[in-house]
Amino acid sequence: MFSFSIKAKDVGSSARLGEFSTPHGSFETPCFMPVATQATVKTLSPEQINLTKSSIILSNAYHLSRRPGEKVIQELGGLHKFMNWPGPILTDSGGFQVFSLAKLNKVTDEGVQFRDPVNGDAISFTPESVIKIQEALGPDIIMPLDQPVPYPTTLEMAKRANERTTNWARRSLAAKSRTDQMLFGIVHGSTYKDLRRQSAESLVELGFKGYAIGGLSVGEGTDLLFDSLGPALEILPGDAPRYLMGVGTPEDIVRAVNMGVDMFDCVLPTRNGRNGWAFTSEGVVRIKNLQYQKDLSSLDAKCGCYTCRNFSKGYLRHLFMSGEILGMTLMSIHNIYYYQALMEGIRNKIIS
Residues in touch with a second copy (CB under 8 A): 38-40, 42-48, 67-68, 72, 75-77, 82-84, 293-294, 296, 310-312, 314-315, 317-319, 321-322, 324-326, 328-330
Closer CB to a second copy, 32 or 82, in the complex = 82
Say if CB 85 and CB 41 are below 8 A apart.
Answer: no
Say if CB 302 and CB 240 are below 8 A apart.
Answer: no
Beta carbon of residue 317, minimum distance to a second copy (angstroms, whole number):
7
Closer CB to a second copy, 208 or 311, in the complex = 311
Beta carbon of residue 50, minimum distance to a second copy (angstroms, whole number):
12
How many other CB atoms sit within 10 Å of the CB of residue 231?
A: 19
Phi, psi of 92 (to 5 degrees): -75, 150
Say if CB 127 and CB 168 are below 8 A apart.
Answer: yes
Which residues partner with 4 through β-bridges? Answer: 20
Closer CB to a second copy, 39 or 236, in the complex = 39
Beta carbon of residue 82, minimum distance to a second copy (angstroms, whole number):
5
Is residue 290 classed as helix, strand or coil in its secondary structure? helix
**What are the catalytic residues?**
92, 265
Beta carbon of residue 323, minimum distance to a second copy (angstroms, whole number):
9
Closer CB to a second copy, 7 or 309, in the complex = 309
Distance of CA 247 to the CA centre of its chain: 7
Beta carbon of residue 44, minimum distance to a second copy (angstroms, whole number):
7
- Phi-psi map region of 292: left, alpha, beta (phi>0 left; psi -120 to 50 alpha): alpha
Which residues partner with 264 through β-bridges? Answer: 32, 244
Closer CB to a second copy, 47 or 109, in the complex = 47
Dihedral (C-alpha) 154, 211, 128, 119: value to the nearest 10 degrees? Answer: 70
Say if CB 9 and CB 350 are below 8 A apart.
Answer: yes
